[in-house]
Amino acid sequence: MRILFGTRHAQRFSIGEAAACVAALLVFLSSGFAHAQDDPYVVRTTAGLLRGQARSAGGAEFLGVPYAEPPTGELRWSEPSPRKPWTGVRDAKAFGSPCAQPVLGDWNRPDAETGSEDCLYLNVIAPDWPAKAPLPVMFWIHGGANLGGSGSGDLYNRGTLTAHGVLLVTMNYRLGVFGFFAHPALTAESPHHASGNWGLMDQVLALHWVRDNIASFGGDPNNITVFGQSAGSMDIGMLMTSPLAAGLFDKAIEESGAAFSASPVSLANAEHRGVDTIAALNLPAGAQGVAALREIPSATLLKKLGSRADDWPGFGPDIDGWVLSRSPADVFSKGGEAPVALLIGTTSREFGSSEPPDQLRLAMTRVTGDLAPQALALYGIAGRGQGTKDPLYGTASDQWSADIVFHCPISTQALWHAAAHHPTYEYEFDHAIPGQEAQGAVHSAELPYVFGFFPKSGDMSGNFGPIDLRLADLMERYWTSFAKTGDPNGDGLTKWPQVEDAQRYLSFTEDGQALASNGALRGPQCELYRNVLRERAK
């Protein structure tokens, strides 16, 4: 259909003919929007119309929303690009595919068995439909060591968190070798002379999608809180130091992961791992090897990689000069991170360890160097000591592994962020999943309480009762109060002090209460950790 209005040809039309053409044009242009008028669950996005569905608990959900072009074929290991527009109305009633990943255990087996490289989808959960007023947005980045997991499933999307007056977005991002593979040939391809941080760039693009589109779903694009757990938490800490993410979120919640819990390697080291990977697969060196690697189907590639596919940190973020220009620890220590309110914390046990005292002494000495005598005494393994047990934190080995990877990096990031005069709130989660009291509050134990969803099977299932329901409501109120205002405190809640107040934090106790501490989290142990950092920086 040629549109001739505005040209000399239009002068030949009679008034009636012009009116008819205008009417026809309006019908043509509006045909794709008819459903938006007829169906209350159709919304307009920058790429086209989406049809969601009602939730059984009220509100609406839009599942499997594409925010980027599929990173397949030649787009494998390239910067994500926004999804191209589609015609008509696209159904958004089922989760998109998880990202390709190896089986890491029963926890991610369903995602691994259904994973695909065509996986850059997100989900929007709205508590009211239509929205009565713009709602604060909580943008979830899932954990899984940057190797596994997805933003789909009941735990993250079917709970009661949104009932506290927030709009929830969950998303997928590229993982493992597909999300963090660096190589000199890929660096040469890049206009930014960088490679390896594809998964972080996915997260950045999804945040851009939220800024551009969330108002159509009832969200406030000027009030976005990123929150995540484990690797998702570490990624958020890194995004707080990334120039690409500047201004894309207003607040951050980090659960069980600091920006430097696993320090990103240099681009050169990441490229070396990529070169070594191609050599191990007996592929040609250089760009030819990368081209050959791109042609291997994802499932086949994961199988060929073997243990390299699930090695942690393995394929992980790097200081590429584009997404990450400096070490996150360096940025936070100098107060150069995003000036946003931060809520950050840990579980009391995290990942336990069963190293016998002799092996633990060797491991601690390697890490602490000249400070080893102080470290060994602190954990009760100096001389022939067998280690000091703690009813909350476990054995000396449990304590050391949780302190060095979680407690102390998290406490240090909180301390540095508060020192830069940004509102900072720290917590410790001590409540074991009922039925798992013997192992304590381990890694991920807080997730059912943050989302208000209690799994009936799997590692996070338990004999949940009234205490758990009260604790979930308590944590959801703190989390959503923070998302709304940057301050977790609210009516009827125990006062949560800021970290700048003597490094105080809030404990979610074994009996389901919230209690403010009188001092720093793992004070002596984390001061030792910071002294080790200072020694290494000399």
Active site residues: 230, 350, 443
Location of structure tokens 């000249």: 370
Q: How many helices (H) and strands (E) does the chain have?
A: 19, 16
Pairing of strands 42-45, 341-347: unpaired
Q: Indicate the length of the chain as a whole number.
A: 538
**Cα(363)–Cα(218) distance, integer angstroms:** 51
- Exposure pattern of 333-363 as b/e (b: 16+ CB <10 Å)? beeebbebbbbbbbbbbbebbebebeebbeb
157 within 8 A of 455, measured Cβ to Cβ: no
Query: CB atoms < 10 A from the CB of 20, how many?
Result: 12
**Cα(516)–Cα(160) distance, integer angstroms:** 25
Residue 515 φ then ψ, to 5°: -130, 130
Location of structure tokens 């949104």: 162
* Vertex 263: Cα angle to 146 and 141 (nearest 5): 35
**Cα(439)–Cα(349) distance, integer angstroms:** 8
3-state secondary structure of 114: helix
Q: What are the Cα distances from residue 171, in Å, to 95, 240, 339, 380? A: 10, 18, 24, 43
DSSP 77-113: TS---BPPP-SSEEE-BSPPPPBP----STTTHHHHH
**Cα(137)–Cα(202) distance, integer angstroms:** 18
Tokens of 85: 């527009």
123 within 8 A of 213, measured Cβ to Cβ: no
Q: Strands across the sheet with 135-141, in order?
A: 53-54, 60-66, 121-126, 167-171, 135-141, 219-229, 251-255, 341-347, 424-429, 506-508, 514-516
- Exposure pattern of 281-291 as b/e (b: 16+ CB <10 Å)? eebeeeeebbe
Asked if the bond preceding 130 is cis, omega within 30° of 0, the reply is yes
Question: C-alpha dihedral over 208, 214, 220, 226, to 10 degrees?
Answer: -50
3-state secondary structure of 372: helix
Q: Which of 204, 91, 96, 102 is nearest to 152 (CA)?
A: 96
**Cα(47)–Cα(35) distance, integer angstroms:** 16
Tokens of 68: 């980027």
111 within 8 A of 47, measured Cβ to Cβ: no
